[in-house]
Chain A
Amino acid sequence: MPKRIDVQRAAHDLHLRTLSKISRPLDRLIYLASTRDYNTGLYYHDGLAARFSEEVACEALADCHREAFRELTSSSLEDLVSQMEAYMASLHTSRGEFIAAWRKLEPYRVAIPVNTDPLAAEFLFSNLKVALAILETRLSIGPMTEPGAWPRPSLVQ
């Protein structure tokens, strides 16, 4: 069987068993980036490798990672803010800490697939920066305040 068909089957399997349970592209991007070894750039997934092969699993994960990146890049800013809000709520950490860490460390910079077009990557980083600023304003003034009365967000780290 040609390798490419195997990769497609592995990607389909990954969608069926794992990715379909992660509804937001942002979560999928972070999950798939976490399966990549920082030192080698290769993706690892024991279950998938056992059913197919390590090489096929790696390529399938890379394909799914690129797809999640494309989906996230084509999300509107409003959608990105809701995705980030939901992601933040799903973590066991305070919103303030999350926003401070994401602004200082910019962990999303290492979560993009390799060989991504630089402009698309820069566009996503820029959108995430704006989304973080929006969430920070929401956090600093509380949910009941009128939009017109919102103060400037604190940019002091």
Chain B
Amino acid sequence: MIQLLLFLLVAVMLFFSLYLLARRSSHAEGSAQDLLEARQALNALQNGLLPQEILGRIFAKEDLDYITSATPRCIHELLLEERKRIALSWVGQVRRQLLSLRQFHLGSARFYAQLNFRTEIRLAVDFAALQSACRALQFLLYLRGPYAAPRMVEATAAAAAKVCGISEKSLAFLKPTHLSVIADSSSRDRATL
């Protein structure tokens, strides 16, 4: 009886080891996808969603002033409706891209980037705070329109840019210059072989 139990225990341990190995290899396959998604999220945030140029235009008060002073009420309503749609789309996209970046930091970043424990904790807190800020901003924009919280928009964008800065360092090895160095060294290796 004891022997049977021992055999069963060994079998369970073997199955568990196999499960761990399988999980590890599937993670290795998925990690390239994680990296790609993180890089895309970072590009979308840095080039499309956070530049002051586009933010300044979406939430520009001068457009509202112009519409209020020079056009009928229905145009005023149309502008508010359109800007609200764009503002909600903006904050929704910022939130989604931040989630994608957080996923990268939770799952794969430690394999590629040498972030110290303090930075990781700070990043986790920043991500959590940003997610809450985005939710609150969505709620405010939905209820009170696109011009309701200009300071909060600025603060959220600034905090997101800060997180992007840290993520940029984690993903720096994916930059074309780094990749060309890797490609060069791999082609040299092939030549040597």
Counting chain A residues whose Cβ lies within 8 A of the other chain, the interface size class is 20 to 34
What chain A residues lie within 8 Å of B111 (beta carbons)?
Answer: none
- A130 CB-CB contact with B under 8 Å: yes
Cβ-neighbour of B63 out of A77, A117, A129, A152 (below 8 A): A77
Q: Which residues of B contact A (CB under 8 A)?
A: 44, 47-49, 53-54, 57-58, 60, 62-63, 66-67, 69-75, 78-79, 82-83, 85-86, 89-90, 93
Q: A150 to B74, alpha carbons, bound, how many Å?
A: 9
> Given that A117-B47, A119-B86, A147-B72 are contacting pairs, would A76 and B63 also be in contact in the complex, using a CB cutoff of 8 Å?
yes
What chain A residues lie within 8 Å of B73 (beta carbons)?
Answer: 152
Smallest CB gap from B60: residue in A: A76
B60 touches A152 (CB 8 A): no
State which residues 108-157 of A face B: CB under 8 Å.
117-120, 122-123, 126-127, 129-130, 133-134, 137, 147, 150-153
A73 touches B74 (CB 8 A): no
20 A-B interface contacts by CB (under 8 A): A76-B62, A77-B60, A77-B62, A77-B79, A78-B63, A117-B47, A118-B48, A119-B90, A123-B54, A123-B86, A130-B78, A130-B82, A133-B75, A134-B71, A147-B72, A150-B72, A152-B72, A152-B74, A153-B74, A153-B75
Q: A89 to B48, alpha carbons, bound, how many Å?
A: 33
Q: Which residues of A contact B (CB under 8 A)?
A: 70, 73-74, 76-78, 117-120, 122-123, 126-127, 129-130, 133-134, 137, 147, 150-153
Q: A153 to B79, alpha carbons, bound, how many Å?
A: 14
Smallest CB gap from B77: residue in A: A152
Q: A69 to B33, alpha carbons, bound, how many Å?
A: 31
